[in-house]
Amino acid sequence: MKTSSLKKSLAILNFSLFTFFLLLTCCISSLSLFGCGGGSSNNGPQASDSSKDTPGSPKDTLEGKSTWKMTFGGSGEDVAKSVVQTSDDGYIVAGYSDSFGAGYLDLYIVKLTKGGQEEWKKNFGGSGFEEARSIQQTSDGGYIVAGYTSSFGIAGSSDIYIVKFDNNGYERWGKTFGGNSDEVANSIWQTSDGGYVIAGYVENESYDADWYIIKLDKNGSEEWHKTFGGNYYDEAKAIQQTSDGGYIIAGYLGKGEWDVDGCLVKLDEKGNKKWDITFGGSGFDAANAVQQTHDGRYIVAGCIEIEITPPGNTNFYIAMVNDNGTISWGKNFGGDSYEEAYAIRQTSDDGYIVAGCTDSFGQGRDFYLVKLNRSGDKIWDTTVGGDSDEEAYSIQQTSDGGYIVAGYTDSFGQGGSNFYLVKLNENGGL
């Protein structure tokens, strides 16, 4: 009896050990399959893309969060300028296309699912040129788009073009604003009263330009407008309503040939200037994006010139501006060639995500994304692209903690340029 019991116990023990080692081997294989081994350090940005990994199919990460990249367009030039996550966890993208529509360029709007699949697309325009540069989802679930048109409005010039459409992409109304010269809207924001505020530029009689700010009511009728500028080419690039009911605007002011400064202007609720600041030296320096932060200050992104000769070598420039218009800190990021930041957003950890382009890293010109902590120190950076050129114009942190990025690609898709939408995880990976 004792011998039989011992044999039975040994058999059970051997079976248990065999099962344990079998499960351990499976776990190790699974970790290797999903790339959960040790990492390696790298002083430069990690490329999140390769010429072998073409856009088209969403995939799930180990955490179950979707990452993907998609192209949209035809045989011509199709460029995405603005993207936002929508209330259904999908995305709405706006830009322009000369592949589709009636004219040389048309507004091109694409609605995507959470996984990057197309739900619908729309073109708006006439026989001339139309371009969308900014889009927002509105409080009624629809969308508001800002850009310019040469098909409508005053003949012989470009006018600001604002289109309101419902959640299925059907136009509710369209408005133009401008005179005999050219006017362009770069940014639009829905205000707390249900109306809208627009920032862009208007050319003057000497073919220079001034900042052009327009306040609309909820039906698109003008309430007031303001211009700001000097004797050279000045352009407002981004606007947001602030917590005090006023507005913060980012852009640049010209000082001479190849000499512009980044500029930030604070307005009250009636459009009267409260303060302004400039940054830069001799060369090309610009503020392309601004957002009010959780503590009431302002985070600004653009570029600052690092080489005077030849012109055009710039780095990302990120500045924190206090609520009285003084600069708390400013930092630049990049290499020895050209980088420019076009978008910045505060993230859920009180840091910041920045998007633009680089000629210093990656292949050709690539998307360049930089994640900063709350003090402006770099946590990580990455490039996304192929053998040709890519530029990122818009970025937002998504509800799953990752990021959605929009711009164009010359490496993937068909035609000259295509909409390029990239969904990254929280670490900037695909």
Can you give the pTM of this predicted structure?
Answer: 0.86
Cα separation, 2 vs 401, in Å, equals: 61
Residue 12 has pLDDT above 70, yes or no: no
Chain mean pLDDT for the chain: 87
Contacts of 110 (CB under 8 A, 6+ apart): 72, 80, 92, 93, 118, 120, 121, 419
pLDDT confidence tier of residue 157, bands split at 50, 70 and 90: confident
Asked if residues 430 and 90 have their Cβ atoms less than 8 Å apart, the reply is no
User: In sequence order, what E strands does 38-117 have?
Assistant: 46-47, 59-60, 66-72, 78-85, 91-97, 106-112
pLDDT of residue 47: 61
Greater confidence (373 vs 41) lies with 373
pLDDT confidence tier of residue 53, bands split at 50, 70 and 90: very low
pLDDT confidence tier of residue 44, bands split at 50, 70 and 90: low
Residue 123 has pLDDT above 80, yes or no: yes
Cα separation, 229 vs 236, in Å, equals: 10
Residue 173 has pLDDT above 90, yes or no: yes
Mean local confidence (pLDDT), 138-145: 98
pLDDT confidence tier of residue 277, bands split at 50, 70 and 90: very high
pLDDT confidence tier of residue 41, bands split at 50, 70 and 90: very low
Most confident of 25-34, 199-208, 300-309, 383-392: 383-392
Sign of CA dihedral 32, 33, 36, 37: positive
Please measure the distance between the N-terminal and C-terminal CA atoms of the chain and give it in whole angstroms.
Answer: 62
Specify the DSSP class assigned to residue 11. Answer: H
The DSSP bridge partners found for residue 220 are: none
| Residue 7, burial from CB neighbour count under 10 angstroms (0-12, 13-18, 19+) | exposed
pLDDT confidence tier of residue 56, bands split at 50, 70 and 90: low
Residue 184 has pLDDT above 90, yes or no: yes
Look at residues 333, 372, 340 and name the one whose alpha carbon lies nearest to residue 356.
340
Mean local confidence (pLDDT), 411-429: 95
Residue 351 has pLDDT above 80, yes or no: yes
Greater confidence (318 vs 124) lies with 318
Neighbouring CB atoms inside 10 A of 253's CB total 26
Digit-coded pLDDT (tens) for 330-339? 999 999 999 9
Mean local confidence (pLDDT), 281-293: 94
pLDDT of residue 62: 38
Residue 68 has pLDDT above 70, yes or no: yes
pLDDT of residue 58: 55
Greater confidence (9 vs 267) lies with 267
Cα separation, 355 vs 12, in Å, equals: 60
Mean local confidence (pLDDT), 338-358: 98
